[in-house]
């Protein structure tokens, strides 16, 4: 009987865990520009993880400059990030504010 409750419970807990790791407003920006195609919460994908990016403690202004004009020399061993020229300051700020809370 109880067994039937385990899968939905597990899915619910996973959904909550994902929601906590990236708030909806950040996910919206990430989805729009497919940041998640290259950046994971943990571990290397094409680019460094969000946790590694958080350690750089970039201001929103600096992060905007780096997203529009990536400096691959900041990440030895990684390919250059494709510049995202059309990301808005407000969108960068959403990501930067969230990253400042990521440990």
Residues 86 and 94: their CA atoms lie apart, in Å, by 15
Residues 42 and 12: their CA atoms lie apart, in Å, by 21
- On whether the CB atoms of residues 48 and 102 are closer than 8 A, the answer is no
Residues from 42 through 61 that contact ligand HEC (CB under 6 A) = 46-48, 53, 56
**Three-state DSSP class for residue 64:** helix
Binding-site residue total for ligand HEC (CB under 6 A)? 27
Shortest distance (Å) from residue 31 CB to ligand HEC: 9
Q: Interface mask (CB under 6 A) for ligand HEC, residues 6-45, using x and -?
A: ---------------------------xxx-xxx------
Residues 94 and 3: their CA atoms lie apart, in Å, by 40
Give the binding site for ligand HEC (CB under 6 A): 33-35, 37-39, 46-48, 53, 56, 63, 66-67, 70-72, 74-75, 78-82, 84, 87, 95
């Amino acid at each position: 009987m109880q067994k039937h409750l385990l899968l939905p419970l597990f899915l619910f807990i996973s959904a909550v865990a994902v929601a906590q790791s990236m708030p909806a407003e950040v996910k919206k920006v990430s989805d729009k520009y497919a940041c998640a195609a290259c950046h994971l919460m943990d571990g290397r994908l094409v680019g460094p993880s969000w946790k590694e990016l958080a350690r750089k403690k970039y201001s929103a202004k600096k992060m905007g400059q780096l997203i529009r004009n990536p400096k691959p020399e900041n990440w030895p061993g990684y390919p250059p990030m494709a510049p995202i020229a059309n990301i808005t300051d407000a969108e960068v700020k959403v990501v930067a504010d969230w990253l400042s809370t990521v440990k």
